[in-house]
Structure 1
Amino acid sequence: MNLRAGVAKIDITTGMQGVVISDPLYAKALVLDDGSTKAVIVAMDALAIGGLGDIKDDFMPKLRRRIENELHIPGGSVMVNASHTHPQGRLLCDDAEQVDRTFEAVRQAMGAMAEVRVGWGVGHEDRIVVNRNLKMKDGKHWSIRYAHPCPPDEDVSGIGPIDPDIGVIRIDRLDGQPLAVVYNFACHLLIGVPDRGVTANFPGFASKVIEETLGNGAMALFLQGAGGDILELYFKDVNRPRNCEPIGTMLGLAALRAARRIETGNARLSVLSETIRLPRRVDIPERIAERLRDQAELLAAMRSTALNFKTFLPMYLKYALHPDYPSDYGYRYMQEAQIGANELVAMDAHNRGNIERYLGNIHKMEKLIRIQEDVATLKHHLELNEEAGEPDIPAEVQGIKIGDGVLITAPAELLIEVGLKLKASSPYEHTIISAFTNGYMHYAPPVEHYGKGGYEVTECLLAPEWQRAYEDKANEIIRRL
């Protein structure tokens, strides 16, 4: 029997009055059936699948239970990925409607099944994202965030890696017309659109490019990758409008180029899903104390500032523009030197000292802002771990093999190094890492990041031992598929 597939999408955007909707959000469903195994892949324009944002923790069990009872597909064969589009407020319809509408997308997809052929490929796009963990000369990390300033350029030694690959699955009807394109990219969806309304962000624009170009009802499903520390390149740019459509267009075109190169054929399905327990971190109180000590040291060093901003700015500009002769024309300095006077030179030395002290305090202030953000984040995650009342967190790891490629999931914001490592160790030529899937437990950084102070380690519930436990299970499932 040939593989059969069906697709459908349902609008899940909030209906709240007064909310600006730039573009609708969807639950897009792909149902696959090879005669012996069924699988459901749902791509949702949402922040997370439970644990954060509009979707509650009971969404997945309710959706799976309904799919099992009414459509007779095992819950462990249902995969739901969140694009991680970031809200300016409420994004989605109410809780009960989320389940109803997502189920309806799956039901409609199942009712539209047709024989298909499947192929895998990979695209490339390295111009639109950057690793936000800046490597500092002191060995630490400083994450690019809107909540605090970037560090001085002279303190930065380098940046981390990105994953420019776009994993692509092309699904064609038997007449060769495309039914669906599933594409996977590691990124973070933050810039939004100029009117700052509800938006599917740049994968929404990418999917629109793919669907409008292919036509004939073809559907594009975006699966978020291991993008925990990956950021839009222009996220901090103050010289251009905050509009993600251009980078979405670039991503869509790159995925299309890859899809057109793919040859399709018959495929078999295999699905595995297991839940493991990942340890919660216990060092958060020590991390809070460490950051408060850093804060006290910086505050104690903020002394002896004679200037305020009104006097600092014109003086700073004057000395930056004319470092040799900042206070007057050069001939005045030459005349002083000729008669053995030193008034201008002495005044400049005094002013430069005040400028340096003021600048130093500005840099300390920027570090203090970051410390305050870190402490608030650490306290919040300490509360989450304490409220849980158990030393570990259940984490589902799911694998879906379609033909000669495999998808492997994680219910967390995997950082890029973890995703790259999984891809490198996979025996399959094509491996898609689908993070933000089937649950949400915040950031999952690699062991070597702990102690370096990046945002993803700060906003983290997991002890470093999580990585070994997760990777062992993910690699085992990949092999067993």
Structure 2
Amino acid sequence: MHHVFAIALVVFSVASGGSARGELSAGAAVVDVTPEQLPVLVNGGMLGREADTVKTPLSARSLVLDDGEDRLAIVVVDSCMMPRALLDEAKAAAAAQTGIPADRILISATHTHSAPSSMACLGTEADPSYVPFLRRKLVEAIAGAAGNLEPARVGWGVVDAGEYTALRRWIRRPDRLADDPFGNPTLRANMHAASNWDDVTGESGPEDPDLSLIALQSADGRPLAVLANFSMHYFGDQSLSADYFGLFCEGLKSRLAGESEAEGEGPPFVGIMSHGCSGDIYRVDYAKPPGSRGEDLTIQSYADALVDRAVGAYESIEFRADADLEMAEARVPLRYRVPDAQRLDWARRVVEAMGDRPPKDTTEVYAREQLILHEWQSTEVVVQAIKIGELAIATTPTETYALTGLKIKLQSPLEKTMVIELANGGDGYIPPPEQHLLGGYNTWAARSAGLEVQAEPKIVEAALGLLEDVSGCDRAEYRQPVGPASEAIRSLRPAAYWRLDEFSGPRAIDHVNDHDAFYEPGVAFFLEGPRPDAFSPGGRPNRSAHLAGGRIDARIPGLGDRYSVSLWCWNGMPEGARDVSGWLFARGHDRDRDGGNDRLGVGGTGEAQGRLIFSPGGPAGGDRPLVGRTAIERWTWHHVVLVRDGDSVRIHLDGDPEPEIEAPAVAGSAPRLDQIFLGGRCDGDSTWEGRLDEIAVFDRVLTVEEIERLSPR
């Protein structure tokens, strides 16, 4: 079993108890946390703002569970984010009042951007009158749920709600970089960049479509509460408002409470919507043309649609009363990304010029943030795991990317796992390490995104270790399912087969031999790949890598001048953006000034626009490449096979037995030259901007019949 002690765990506690447990009890409550004094500061923007009206009430929705030996509490608050210090104080007060240990209390924010500010961040301070009010209300919510405990049954439901969530963070073209607040052209990926398709090459990560439910019933089947979880950042509403989270909770209550509540049977039903991993997620699907991205949805129709999905999932839930409870907590020390001497000097000069007034623009906001990070240097974050019978909850204290949530879910010891973000603190964005290189708002050092580059893997490791401890089982090993198309590749005995389904780099695993390849920096992971029905059966997406400046470096010992390369490609560059849209394959030494040999790519401008191009490279290759006949549509998957047979070459597209390119081509590769590059030339010119997947290299010439087997139609 893997434990999280390896990352210097500061405080660690596991709820004790044997295998024999009493009957599960549950209680739920809702406490109004709408401020009593207006106006109030509102968080969630770059600059400070106030609100003096209330559109919808704000709530703290709580759930207390007891199995006869252990008791725990879960609270979800209509707030943008809440600092750990405030929550620690509320937990201590609640523990004194209810007897529930502080490290068995989970408190998270919904992340509505239209709620009072309880945490200073960017250009907004914490509202001084609201913070103590909220602290009291959190204690009240926990005590109220504890007072409503009664025998209960629990069950799990999940439904695909992918049409209501999408990636908001897209990768920009390498020639369309923008400046960060410090004046540097680092912005390679950013939120909402795909509002103009000409600027971008594709999404920077996967989405998580699951709307998950942990449902509680009384012993006689009366609905008590539902804890839902969904990964969508926020809808956006007039302040003050609980956003779609509150509308969902009320809609679920009206659909599930039924006649029992009208007749006054027991405490009211409580619907709870917790925030899934949504740091790079929004409701607008930029992959669709304008006008069909969900722009016509109102906040009410959006919430109603999610309620419809949730009710459908609820109706299929099987409940049980013998669920035992376990809970564990870790406090993980992390450092901030503090400014270097040059940036610190710049920040001091900007802030000195501001005087006592608050920041008025992005530059001033980030200058002040540098001074704060420099003063703080380090922190500790809280990570938790809960087991409820066969169900699990893991938490992060941050705005977490969907990929991070998938890492935890797909490796959890318990298949039925939800991940709640912004729990037990508001520690900002934690991009996976490779995403820092792509830049963007989510990476700019501030309290909103200031944790160390390795914060994401450390928090994932902490969550998985805690899940192992509460479940008593080892974490799952994620394996991409093997479909008929994968079996077809394996049956032809390739020298190497890279599925490119990794969560992270730098290693790309060879699934048939030991020829692992290596990702260079500039790659995004776990994007959707081609033909999931053929490569990844069972309802799981096929996964691929998106190249954004990086290549894949591989070596095939003994590769001669008779070989074949089979790969799937998805071009992210607009037509005509540059001379060559991108190179897919090259053979030769790294940094070869001639670009290497046997170069295969997709043309950009001129007569080769959008069509396959091939150059044997070297002195004999000339400058004019061979050109295919078929245009390759942008943002679509295509299967390409390169066959080198001594002094001739042929290239097939999408399994067509008629080659796109077939010609004599003097071999430029020495028989013992075993290094190849995928997604770029040897000299790094015009690297591939888009996705690659399911790459196989054969140390022999494939026949037309074999190529047709590799390209399912």
Question: Scaled by the length of structure 2, what TM-score is found?
Answer: 0.51
Query: Over the residues paired in the alignment, what is the CA RMSD in angstroms?
Result: 2.8
Higher relative contact order (CA 8 A, sep 6+): 1
- Counterpart of 2:330 in structure 1 is 274
Corresponding position of 1:219: 270
The alpha carbon displacement at 1:187 in A equals 1.4
Mapped to 1, the partners of 2:343 and 2:157 lie a distance apart of 43
Give the letter for the 1:99 counterpart.
Answer: R
Return the match for 1:30 from 51, 63, 70: 63
Assess, with a 3 A threshold, how the Cα gap between structure 1 residues 209 and 287 changes in structure 2: closer, same or farther. Answer: farther
1:330 aligns to what?
none
**Structure 1 residue 109: deviation in Å?**
1.3
The question of 1:469 aligning with 2:480 is answered no
| Separation in structure 2 between the aligned mates of residue 395 and residue 277 of structure 1, nearest angstrom | 7
Distance 1:12 1:220 in 2: 16
- Looking at structure 2, the residues matched to 66 and 88 of structure 1 have their Cα atoms a distance apart, in angstroms, of 23
Q: Is the 8 A contact 1:374 1:455 kept in 2?
A: no
The percentage of aligned residue pairs carrying the same residue is: 26
1:245-324 equivalences under 5 Å are 245-266=300-321, 267-282=323-338
Maintained 8 Å contact 1:49/1:80: no
Which residue of the partner structure matches residue 126 of structure 1? 162
Corresponding position of 1:352: none
Asked if structure 2 preserves the Cα contact closer than 8 Å seen for 1:209 and 1:249, the reply is yes
Structure 1 position 42 matched with structure 2 position 42: no
- Residue type matched to 1:172 in 2? Q
**Paired residues of 2:71 and 2:100 also in contact (CA < 8 A):** yes
Q: Secondary structure at the match of 2:443?
A: helix
2:233 paired residue number = 188
SS of 1:158's equivalent in the other structure is strand
Q: Which segment drifts farther, 233-242 or 279-288?
A: 233-242
CA contact (8 A) 2:432 2:457 kept: no
Q: Which amino acid aligns with 1:211?
A: K
Letter in 2 for 1:16: Q
User: Do the aligned residues in 1 keep the contact of 2:211 with 2:310 (CA within 8 Å)?
Assistant: yes
Aligned residue for 2:163, secondary structure, equals: coil
Q: Work out whether 1:143 is the aligned partner of 2:190.
A: yes
Match of 1:169 among 206, 214, 220: 214
Structure 2 counterpart of 1:452, from 430, 438, 448: 438
Q: State how far apart, in whole Å, the 2-side matches of 1:467 and 1:166 are.
A: 23
Q: Structure 2 CA distance, aligned partners of 1:39 and 1:131?
A: 34
Deviation track 1:123-182 (CA, whole Å, cap 9, x = no partner) reads 22112222111122329643235xxx7664212111232111012101110111111110
Structure 2 residue corresponding to 1:94, chosen from 104, 109, 130:
130
Q: Give the equivalent residue in structure 2 for 1:384.
A: 372
- Cα 1:48–1:58, aligned 2, differ >3 Å: closer, same or farther? same
Q: Which amino acid aligns with 1:178?
A: P
Does 2:37 match 1:16?
A: yes
Q: 1:128 to 1:380 in 2, by over 3 A?
A: farther
SS at match of 1:104: helix
Q: Which runs of 5+ in 1 are unaligned?
A: 51-56, 291-371
For residues 47-99 of structure 1, the C-alpha deviation after alignment (integer angstroms, 9 at most, x for no partner) is 1122xxxxxx5321221111221211100000001000002766997222212
CA distance in 1, matches of 2:157, 2:344: 45
User: Does the 8 A contact of 1:46 with 1:85 survive in 2?
Assistant: yes
Task: Please report how far the alpha carbon of residue 398 of structure 1 lies from its aligned counterpart in structure 2 after TM superposition.
Answer: 0.7
Per-residue deviation at 1:467?
Answer: 2.1
Is residue 206–residue 253 contact of structure 1 (8 Å, CA) maintained in 2?
Answer: no
1:68-79 equivalent positions in 2, closer than 5 A: 68-79=95-106
Higher mean alpha-carbon deviation, 469-478 vs 432-441, is at 469-478
- CA distance in structure 2 between the aligned counterparts of 1:190 and 1:130, rounded to whole angstroms: 12
2:285 and 2:210 map into 1 onto residues whose CA distance is 19
Instruction: Specify which of 417, 420, 434 is matched with residue 434 of structure 1.
Output: 420
Q: Which runs of 5+ in 2 are unaligned?
A: 1-21, 40-51, 119-126, 178-186, 262-267, 347-359, 471-713
Between the aligned partners of 2:402 and 2:303, the Cα distance in structure 1 is: 20
Taking structure 1 as reference, are residues 33 and 95 closer, same or farther at Cα in structure 2, changes over 3 Å only? Answer: same
CA contact (8 A) 2:77 2:109 kept: yes
User: Partners of 1:189 and 1:289 in 2: how far apart?
Assistant: 36
Cα contact 2:339–2:374 (8 A) shared by 1: no
Paired letter, 1:87: S
Residues 17/397 of structure 1: CA separation in 2 closer, same or farther (3 Å cut): closer
The offset of 1:233, in angstroms, is 1.2
Verify: 1:5 aligned to 2:29, yes or no: no
SS in 2 for 1:246: helix
- 3-state SS in 2 of match to 1:127: helix
Q: Quick check: 1:191–1:232 contact (8 Å CA) kept in 2? A: no
With over 3 angstroms needed to count, the CA separation of the structure-2 counterparts of 1:80 and 1:234, relative to structure 1, is same
Provide the C-alpha distance between the structure 1 equivalents of 2:117 and 2:329, rounded to a whole number of angstroms.
31
CA contact (8 A) 1:268 1:403 kept: yes
Would the aligned equivalents of 2:79 and 2:117 in 1 still touch at CA under 8 Å? no
Match of 1:478 in 2: 467
Amino acid at match of 1:67: A
Whether 1:229 aligns to 2:280 is yes
1:289 Cα deviation after fit: 11
1:154 maps to 2:187: no
Q: Secondary structure at the match of 1:233?
A: coil
Q: SS of the counterpart of 1:254?
A: helix
Question: What is the CA distance between 1:463 and its match in structure 2?
Answer: 1.7
- Give the AA of the match of 1:104: E
The aligned amino acid for 2:211 is I
1:317-351 Cα deviation digits (max 9, x unpaired): xxxxxxxxxxxxxxxxxxxxxxxxxxxxxxxxxxx
Q: Summarize the Cα distance change of 1:170–1:471 in structure 2 as closer, same or farther, 3 Å threshold.
A: same
Contact 2:278–2:402 (CA<8 Å) still a contact in 1? yes
Structure 2 distance, partners of 1:123, 1:422, is 18
Query: Number of residues paired by the alignment?
Result: 386
Alignment partner of 2:409: what SS? Answer: helix
Query: Could you report, residue by residue, the CA deviation over 1:389-435 in whole angstroms, capped at 9, with x for unpaired residues?
Result: x3x22011111111111111111111111111111111211111111
CA distance in 1, matches of 2:93, 2:252: 31
Shift of 1:15: 2.2
- Cα distance between partner residues in 2 of 1:284 and 1:123: 47
The residue type equivalent to 2:228 in the other structure is Y
Q: TM-score, normalised to structure 1's length?
A: 0.74
